[in-house]
Structure 1
Amino acid sequence: MKILVTDQAGAEYELEGLDGWRVMEVIRDWGLNIKAECGGAASCATCHVYVDEAWVDKLAPPNHDEEDLLYTAPDARANSRLSCQILLSEELDGLKVTLAGSAAKDSEAA
């Protein structure tokens, strides 16, 4: 399955992922500019992405811990999510996300 990712510079990528993988793992493993410091433990917000509006309602809602972490992200928006909390499935084939500035490897934020 594929996810479509726009990086902080506006470049677009079509990445291949596997069912059950976290979106963060796919983005990281393809070498895009994402910190993902905690490796998917939902204890930081360094894998922050913006979910394309067409996909927001197709995702499970964020849990309390994710909401708390997003609250700390300086560039959070209504469509913000932690990519480590989005598990790929057939229903999410073609998911579109944009990497937040605070998720960049060289970002001082989050």
Structure 2
Amino acid sequence: KTIRFEPRLPEWKEEAIRELTVGVENKIVLHFGQVFWPNVEFIGVVSSSTYGCSYFLNLHKATGHPVLVYMPAGRLARDIEKMSDEAAAQFAFSQLKKILPNAAEPVSSLLAIT
């Protein structure tokens, strides 16, 4: 109730605002020796359920460095938070291997849990 609208919003809009939440989307940065993926902005992970859907952000396009950032969200992100850093990075790489079976192993990784 920090922001007040004048005139006051209808109750149904105020209720909708009260129910807004911020979701979880974590980042697992995978640094590779060289680029082996297509020159696209995103590489999506498709799954039979929303739980398994995620994507990789291609930082090579913006930085010139061979880096992909795995972006899991929701319950999947929360479950990955329970893993060790090494296990989380390995999980991210396993997701990439589903899309690009000949993917090279990353040379390093970094987790950004938010």
> TM-score if structure 2 supplies the norm length?
0.30
Higher relative contact order (CA 8 A, sep 6+): 1
